[in-house]
């Protein structure tokens, strides 16, 4: 999983030389006022060899089985590139389960995308690494669940830790830049020091310590995964220390858990602003968890051109700009900074996607978030509900309304 | 991190970064894992020349010749320092 809430830093570094006049001519004279997408997330499949308890995939993923074929994906890539998208993530599920991945990377590279493979590393053999390098893959983000084999294997419900370490070595041998991603929560926050040591030892250029965002499977397991404030403060102090001593070798990102904040994240940099996701079955999504929102019909790339989807569809226009906002967002000075926060979180916690994200302490429903955090702090290590692994059986049951908690397979 | 001989070091973009023209942005951009920086024209002209063949002095001379300008060394040096700080250069 990756956090795409700030995919673009529109930094314009000074003007060291007399700048002259930046070219203003060309495209866009008659283009719509809506800015083009910059990020295309291609979720190639929901299939995955892991069963992570914090996966953001929809809990009913097992009911979305039809995957786009190679030619359909190539068409998506061409149309997205023509619109202006330049960063491309191949994700899932586990994208390596698609045996046409190399073909798609090749096409994307030819089109001028910067290509990122977001993977668990399962199935990333030397042969495939070589083929992906040849196809022009730019970067690999490898996920780890923890620094210890026991925890990694428990949280993903597999035996994968040693394999992942070998894969990380191979990725570096093939000369790829590598980002290590580790999703943080109650069970591994105390190990953050070891996780950083491991990233350094494996030669990662970046380490993304992403505190769990509570959507999909993570939301279903929220009470089990929610850390305490003390755990977070400890981890943040460790990160600050390592940034001082090792910051020039490995950049460490610490994605804050927003339940502990007083202001919401600028989710997706604004709805329909830079991010365009395409789900395995071709549904086009303004954010990777948008499927959790009721009352929205997501257009499908199989029958609708991407340009129409981005500029004209109801789904992509629903929360664009400010017009949809209610109080306290509507009159708030900060609405252009955080865009009212996350629509999925507003829906999950308040029952209405047009409400302010209740992470904001100006929201009349902020108390709900505070209570979740308080409950985590008081619950100690005992959890009444068993943890719910992401797998097909649980997914089908959740889709039909009830799940068998604690069954890892 | 050592600062010795910085001024005579050859300037080179780190392989982590890729620079390209983006018509939709009407600008050069610097691409890196899961991110992008939009460059203004000056930044682009400097970074284009950070190809492992020039030190700062050669880069200044090159840009002064290309744009028929003089006295821009301090500005270029400041930008190069900033690019180093951001980790864009080797």
Q: Write down the pLDDT at residue B63.
A: 94
Q: Write down the pLDDT at residue B27.
A: 93
pLDDT over threshold 90, residue A335 = yes
Using a CB-CB cut-off of 8 Å, the residues of chain B touching A177 are: 15-16, 32-33
At residue A243 the predicted structure's pLDDT band, cuts being 50, 70 and 90, is very high
Residue predicted with more confidence, A24 or B14: B14
* pLDDT tens, residue by residue, A157-211: 667 778 888 999 999 999 999 999 999 998 889 889 988 988 998 889 999 999 9
Distance CA B76, CA A232 (A): 42
pLDDT over threshold 80, residue A244 = yes
* Residue in chain B nearest A114 by alpha carbon: B31
Among A13, A22, A206, beta carbon nearest to B33 = A206
pLDDT over threshold 60, residue A406 = no
Query: Do the Cβ atoms of B41 and A24 come within 8 Å?
Result: no
Q: Flag whether the pTM goes above 0.95.
A: no
Using a CB-CB cut-off of 8 Å, the residues of chain B touching A205 are: 16, 33
Q: What is the pLDDT of chain A when averaged over all its residues?
A: 85
Residue ranges of B 28-57 with Cβ closer than 8 A to chain A: 29, 31-43, 45-46
At residue A400 the predicted structure's pLDDT band, cuts being 50, 70 and 90, is confident
In this prediction the ipTM stands at 0.85
Residue predicted with more confidence, B28 or A63: B28
> Between the CA of residue B57 and those of B14, B50, B66, what are the distances in Å?
20, 12, 14
Residue predicted with more confidence, A398 or A101: A101
- Cβ atoms of A403 and A394 closer than 8 Å: yes
pLDDT above 70 covers what percent of chain A? Answer: 87
Distance CA A170, CA A174 (A): 6
Among B33, B39, B79, beta carbon nearest to A179 = B33
At residue A350 the predicted structure's pLDDT band, cuts being 50, 70 and 90, is very high
Regions of chain B where pLDDT drops below 70: 1-8
């Amino acid at each position: 999983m990756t956090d795409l809430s700030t995919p673009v830093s529109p930094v314009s570094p000074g003007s060291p030389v007399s700048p002259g006049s930046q070219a203003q001519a060309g495209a866009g004279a008659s283009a719509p006022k809506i800015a083009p997408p910059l990020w295309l997330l291609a979720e190639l499949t929901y299939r995955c060899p892991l069963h992570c308890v914090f996966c953001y995939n929809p809990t009913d993923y097992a009911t979305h089985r039809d995957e786009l074929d190679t030619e359909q994906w190539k068409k998506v890539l061409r149309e997205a590139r023509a619109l202006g998208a330049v960063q491309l993530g191949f994700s899932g599920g586990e994208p390596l389960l698609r045996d046409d991945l190399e073909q798609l990377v090749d096409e994307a590279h030819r089109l001028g995308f910067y290509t990122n493979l977001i993977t668990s590393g399962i199935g990333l053999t030397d042969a495939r690494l070589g083929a992906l390098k040849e196809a022009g893959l730019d970067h690999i983000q490898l996920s780890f669940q923890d620094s210890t084999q026991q925890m990694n294997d428990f949280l993903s419900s597999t035996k994968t830790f040693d394999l992942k370490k070998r894969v990380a070595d191979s990725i570096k041998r093939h000369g790829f830049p590598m980002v290590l991603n580790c999703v943080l929560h109650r069970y591994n926050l105390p190990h953050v020091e070891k996780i950083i040591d491991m990233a350094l030892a494996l030669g990662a250029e970046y380490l993304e310590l992403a505190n769990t965002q509570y959507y999909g499977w993570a939301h279903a397991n929220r009470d089990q995964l929610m850390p305490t404030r003390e755990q977070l403060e400890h981890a943040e102090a460790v990160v600050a220390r390592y940034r001082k001593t090792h910051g020039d070798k490995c950049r460490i990102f610490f994605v804050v858990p927003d339940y502990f904040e007083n202001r919401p994240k600028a989710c997706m940099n604004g709805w329909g602003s830079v991010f365009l996701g395409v789900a395995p079955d071709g549904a086009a999504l303004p954010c990777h968890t948008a499927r959790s929102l009721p009352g929205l019909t997501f257009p499908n790339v199989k029958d609708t051109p991407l340009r129409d989807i981005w500029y004209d569809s109801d789904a992509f226009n629903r929360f664009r700009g400010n017009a949809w906002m209610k109080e306290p967002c509507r009159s708030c000075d900060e609405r252009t900074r955080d865009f009212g926060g996350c629509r999925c979180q507003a829906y999950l916690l308040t029952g209405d996607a047009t409400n302010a994200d209740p992470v904001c302490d100006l929201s009349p429903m902020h108390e709900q978030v505070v209570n979740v955090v308080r409950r985590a702090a008081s619950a100690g290590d005992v959890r009444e509900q068993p943890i719910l692994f992401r797998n097909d059986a649980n997914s089908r049951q959740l889709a039909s309304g009830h799940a068998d908690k604690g069954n890892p397979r | 991190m050592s600062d010795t001989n910085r001024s005579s070091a050859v300037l080179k973009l780190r392989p982590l970064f890729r620079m390209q023209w983006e018509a939709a942005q009407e600008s050069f951009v610097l691409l890196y894992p899961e991110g992008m920086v939009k460059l203004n024209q000056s930044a682009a002209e400097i970074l284009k020349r950070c190809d492992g063949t020039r030190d700062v002095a050669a880069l200044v001379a090159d840009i002064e010749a290309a744009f028929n300008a003089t006295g821009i060394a301090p500005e270029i040096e400041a930008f190069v320092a900033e690019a180093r700080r951001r980790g864009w250069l080797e």
